[in-house]
Structure 1
Amino acid sequence: MSPEAKKDPKANETTQYSPDWIREEVSRLVELHESGTMPSIVQLGHPVLRMQAVDHAEQLGEKLLRRFLDTMKAVMLDAPGVGLAAPQLGVPLRIAVLEDLYETSPEIAAARQREPLEYLEIINPRYYPVGERMAEFYEGCLSFNGYQGVVVRPSDITTSFTDVYGRARERLFSGWQARIFQHETDHLDGIVYIDKALSRSLCSSLEYARWANPDVDQARRGLDF
């Protein structure tokens, strides 16, 4: 059992995950990170991964929010991953961090519409499809270790969120960047990618390299989905 699991509140529903509890838990995670220990990423089955996260409305304050975002970024990069949502640390707040600067081949980049995504912090994000283009590819999740599944998602989205200073932002994303934004924002609505995946596409990470070459056509034939 992880330290996070041991610290889950046992109080009744009116006090569970209260603003006070959220501040205390975020402080604990930040202090753990700043002491040199990386907080654990919670796994599927943890209740926060199935909750509707609450909007961040100054619960943490400016300084604690900044420290929490730094902790989230460190956990994401250490995993390694291209995104991390607060519920993946057991905190039901609508906060996520994104970054995808990993090198990839031109062939894979073209097939997956993958462009570098500079580090981005999104607070209280929402997304909406733009147009009718759809794209499908394998996704994995740091909270569902060991598996990959094909998810069909809108190729183009418009988004709204606030930054760490509380300023409203709007951005358009396409391709792989749109996929990352949708995946992490879904976490804030209690949705894990497996909820949207084509079930017959599911494969272990050990088998993943067999099918990601560089699109999913071979996987569709081999796994019959």
Structure 2
Amino acid sequence: MNDADALIATQIRTVLAAAEASGGAAPIVEAGDPILRSVTRPFDGQVDDAELARLAEVMRATMVAAPGVGLAGPQLGIGLSMFVAEDPGSLDPETAEVRQRTPMPLRVVVNAGCSRAASADVAFFEGCLSIPGYQAVVARPREIELTAQNLDGTPINEVVSGWSARILAHETDHLGGVMFVDKAEMRSLSTNTSVAKFWNQPSTQKAAAELGFTLPSSMLM
């Protein structure tokens, strides 16, 4: 095992120990930590199957406790290409329709890559557990093609649409050292409190009009 892979194994075991000491969840790394700006390494047997499965459990426990709908390895201080994602969907029917936000069961994704699968972009507020308290509007493809592996090594190659595509694209970005603010419309940057107070609508058209930014043309038809 080379030095980079040995470091990842150490990072994983450090997180597992921290989670055990805390009762299940691990600390989340926040913006400014250089690991969030580093490209991850693919999983290639740095730890055994049992430790990898335990890491997936800790990542989900941390995500749920935060709470959030996705969490990537770098957000726990691990330079590994792995993330978890799970979304209950929207309880409001109009929001669910406009944002195409349907429930997504737990996914544990290893060695992920994603690419555009549709020409249309959609733009909505999103946030990040590593930048607590803030959200901004980000334009992303309505559909993506996800290539990756499941926890057991089974290949993944599928097209994902709607809000689930947004979540998976956001988490895949983390694996390349990219954060949502890099792609955000910064005129829309808002605290969580302001989003709840002013922009609690299914679409982002009101926010665009009043904050002065442009939405993708596919959202204006």
Structure 1 residue 102, shift from structure 2 partner: 4.6
Residue 93 (structure 1) aligned to one of 69, 80, 87: 80
Q: Which position in structure 2 is the counterpart of 1:5?
A: none
Deviations 1:145-190 (A, max 9, x none): 1110000010011111111111111121001010000000000000
TM-score by length of 2: 0.91
Q: Which position in structure 1 is the counterpart of 2:14?
A: 28
Q: Secondary structure at the match of 2:94?
A: helix
Aligned length: 210
Q: Which position in structure 1 is the counterpart of 2:162?
A: 175
Any conservation in 1 of the 2:112–2:172 contact (CA below 8 Å)?
Answer: yes
Q: Which position in structure 1 is the counterpart of 2:202?
A: 214
Q: Which position in structure 2 is the counterpart of 1:79?
A: 66
Measured in 2, the distance between the counterparts of 1:131 and 1:38 equals: 36
Measured in 2, the distance between the counterparts of 1:185 and 1:140 equals: 15
Measured in 2, the distance between the counterparts of 1:37 and 1:65 equals: 15
Stretches of structure 1 that go unaligned for 5 or more consecutive residues are 1-13
Structure 1 residue 41, shift from structure 2 partner: 0.5
Stretches of structure 2 that go unaligned for 5 or more consecutive residues are 214-221
TM-score by length of 1: 0.90
- Structure 1 consecutive aligned stretches of length 4 or more whose deviation exceeds 3 Å: none
Instruction: Map 1:52-71 onto structure 2 (within 5 A).
Output: 52-71=39-58
Q: Secondary structure at the match of 1:40?
A: coil
Measured in 2, the distance between the counterparts of 1:114 and 1:128 equals: 20
Q: Which position in structure 2 is the counterpart of 1:224?
A: 212
Instruction: Map 1:96-115 onto structure 2 (within 5 A).
Output: 96-115=83-102
CA RMSD of aligned residues (A): 1.3
Q: Which position in structure 2 is the counterpart of 1:10?
A: none
Tell me if 1:122 matches 2:109: yes
Opposite residue 62 of structure 1, the aligned amino acid is: D
Structure 1 residue 34, shift from structure 2 partner: 2.5
